[in-house]
A and B are shown apart, each in its own frame.
Chain A
Amino acid sequence: ETGVTQTPRHLVMGMTNKKSLKCEQHLGHNAMYWYKQSAKKPLELMFVYNFKEQTENNSVPSRFSPECPNSSHLFLHLHTLQPEDSALYLCASSQDWSGRSRTGELFFGEGSRLTVL
């Protein structure tokens, strides 16, 4: 396994379900990110974890709950979602994002396509 792996690739859930998206990176990075990509909208940064600590939460509704148990794994727990939450959820990683030596280059997974009915 190389790079950033996301599972599942596709998920259909009802508004009352609870599900989770998983992301794993094999690059030795220390920062991990969740992005939301909706049709006809720009990429939205949702959460950032740096060395397992959450450093960004861009006003994301509480029905999205991230978890970062270690620098290699990132989860996005989903509950009581709305149809407008249907989107491609992208996970990314970078070396970390502190210090002048870091370019902040992101490495992305292939995404989890979520459909909320």
Chain B
Amino acid sequence: AQSVTQLDSQVPVFEEAPVELRCNYSSSVSVYLFWYVQYPNQGLQLLLKYLSGSTLVKGINGFEAEFNKSQTSFHLRKPSVHISDTAEYFCAVRPLSGNTPLVFGKGTRLSVIA
């Protein structure tokens, strides 16, 4: 079985500062990795995903994430945040094979302060 740990439930950051949202996972098999964003009163939207290949993945809105297999991490980063980045961010994993849906972390609330 897979599990996802998002180490911070809330991250406040000033506008134009860099941010890192941490995600660690546990799995005995290889996995696909995802980051989703949820703006207030909306559903989840895919930010980026790691399927294979380059460990540095670029997504929408200037976000990127790096897959680190040895540390079983998939941290999300942005060099300069905007007020509009205020949202809930979810990390998710799924094994490469088998019939299991995505397993989500508990989410990290990013609050960007003007």
Contacts and interface: CB of A to CB of B under 8 A. Distances in A.
Interface of A: 4, 6, 33, 42-43, 45, 48, 50, 55-56, 90, 92, 94, 97-98, 100, 103-111, 113
Describe B's contact surface by its main secondary structure: loop
6 contacts: A4-B43, A42-B107, A92-B43, A104-B32, A108-B44, A111-B43
A6 B41 CA distance: 13
B25 interface: no
Interface in B30-80: 32, 34, 36, 41-46, 49, 51
Interface residues of B, number: 24
Nearest to A96: B99
Given A104-B102, A105-B102, A106-B101, 6 more contacts: A42-B104, A42-B105, A90-B43, A90-B44, A104-B32, A108-B43
Contacts of B104: 42-43
A117 B68 CA distance: 47
B11 interface: no
Given A42-B107, A48-B101, A106 B44 contact: yes
Contacts, number: 59
B103 to A, nearest CB: 9
Interface of B: 32, 34, 36, 41-46, 49, 51, 90, 92, 94, 96-97, 99-102, 104-107
A103 B101 contact: no
A42 B44 contact: no
Contacts of B42: 110-111
B49 A105 contact: yes
Nearest to A112: B43
Contacts of B106: 42
B52 to A, nearest CB: 10
A6 B99 CA distance: 25
B41 A113 contact: yes
